[in-house]
Amino acid sequence: MGRMSKTDTVAETEKAESKAEPKITGSKAETASASAHASKADTPTFENLHLWNKLKRTDPKATKPFTRSGGFRGTQIDPTWRLMMMTEVFGPVGKGWGYEQMDWTIAERMVFICARVWYIDPETGEKCWTGPQWGGTEMVRRRNGIEAPDDECFKMSMTDAVGKCLVQLGLAADVHMGQFDDSKYREESEAFYAAKANPDLQPTAIAAFEEEVRKRLGACLDLDDLEEVWRAGVGTRLREIGSVDRAAQHRITSLFAQKKAEILKREESGDQDGGEMEAA
């Protein structure tokens, strides 16, 4: 058991990430627990907040503060960024998601449009709808005290209505829940989107890394081999992956837990066989 002290040092070094990363060595009880946790993580489950959590975080670069008459202050979200996020999660507009106008009216020199958004549920393939929402825009613009017709009022009303519908799915929920008022949260969001833009953290790169780890683990014969794989930059890469894809991070860490369980089981079986031979 002397060789386990080196791995215990690794576990201490990675203490901050212990919830997401496996310890290479430990007791049989810990191994069984890790294996059970890994199996649970691998089991696909439907989560009510799955889509909400994918859409809730807003890129600070897609926002800017605004002030309305009366002193109301808020955060404006780039409409094009919202379309991009919906396309990222559901696919191109008109194919994976879209919207339709349900009604419109003009009152008090304003254009009001009622719209709703549809999307294809990635889990079931079912076409779903948000509730209808109204958006409104003034028909005139005032500049330097002079009024002029606004030829984009209909478009802006539709954008307003669609944006309200997307909030129902969780898009930019952090802004509407006031989290953007926290400077620390904004810094975390900046780091999240910086990592998301990293080529090494794109879905294809993560899938390739996962397959590489799987192959390397397949060649491990003992705990020293397992530790060597972990020390070869896997821990650092997993922390980066976890910032953009927690599911992939858990899948890869579960591979280590499963391999560790296999090695310990094989070693335990070998010890038992050796003991029976000595007794004979």
Residues 33 and 67 in one domain: no
85: CB partners within 8 A, 6+ apart: 55, 171
Structural domain total, the chain: 2
114 and 202 within one domain: no
Specify whether the CB–CB gap between 79 and 93 falls below 8 A. no
Q: How confident is the model at residue 206 (pLDDT cuts 50, 70, 90)?
A: very high
Read off the pLDDT band of 7 (50, 70, 90).
Answer: very low
Place of tokens 């996020």: 85
pLDDT at residue number 21: 47
Exposure of 236 by Cβ count < 10 A (0-12 exposed, 13-18 middle, 19+ buried)? exposed
Task: Say yes or no: 65 and 99 in one domain.
Answer: yes
> Same domain for 148 and 238?
no
In a domain, 85, yes or no: yes
Kindly state whether residues 12 and 41 are assigned to the same domain: yes
The domain of 69 spans 59-171
**Band (194; pLDDT cuts 50, 70, 90):** confident
pTM: 0.61
Domain boundary among 108, 136, 171: 171
Residue 53: inside a domain: no
Asked whether residue 178 is assigned to any structural domain, the reply reads: no
Residues 80 and 165 in one domain: yes
Whether residue 225 is found in the same domain as residue 145: no
Alpha helix segments (H runs only) across the chain = 4-13, 28-42, 50-55, 79-90, 153-169, 173-176, 183-196, 203-218, 223-229, 235-242, 246-279
The pLDDT tens digits for 221-230 are 999 999 999 9
Q: How many residues does the chain have?
A: 280
Same domain assignment for residues 140 and 64: yes
